[in-house]
Amino acid sequence: MQNFKRIVNTGEKMGRTIGFPTVNLEVKDLADHLKYGVYTCEVSVEGQNHKGMMHFGPTLQKEDPQLEIFIVDFDGDLYDKEISFTPLKFVREVLQFESFEDLKAQIEKDLQALND
């Protein structure tokens, strides 16, 4: 799949409340290349590659599409920095959740795709 570069934006900071902090990125032309859903991805941060889980589509708070990536084994401030990412494998369609607990349980399940 194609590699994308984006600047990290400030988001709602909700992911960190359930143990999965995400970087929020500009959606731009992503819909021209990907369908809404959750993907495994590779993320390059300051020259280091990391595994990640990417969500592209509406979220609990917003109906407009959002692009968020949880970077596995990374802890740091990336606001206003450029990262690149490559979606690797489509995991599932976008789902709507009634609670953050339900979302957290699904993310934990989705993360298993990184080991497949």
Total number of domains constituting the chain: 1
- For position 6, what pLDDT does the model report? 95
- For position 18, what pLDDT does the model report? 83
- For position 33, what pLDDT does the model report? 92
- Is 113 within 8 Å of 52 (Cβ atoms)? no
pLDDT in single tens digits along all 116 residues of the chain: 799 999 999 877 777 778 899 999 999 889 999 999 999 999 999 899 999 999 999 886 778 899 999 999 998 889 999 999 999 999 999 998 888 899 999 999 999 999 88
- Is 24 within 8 Å of 8 (Cβ atoms)? yes
Q: Report the alpha-carbon distance of residue 75 to residue 63 in Å, rounded.
A: 28
CA angle 16, 70, 26 (to 5 degrees): 100
Full residue range of the structural domain in which residue 111 is found: 4-115
- For position 17, what pLDDT does the model report? 78
Q: What is the pTM of this model?
A: 0.92
Q: What is the CATH number of the domain that holds 56?
A: 2.40.30.30
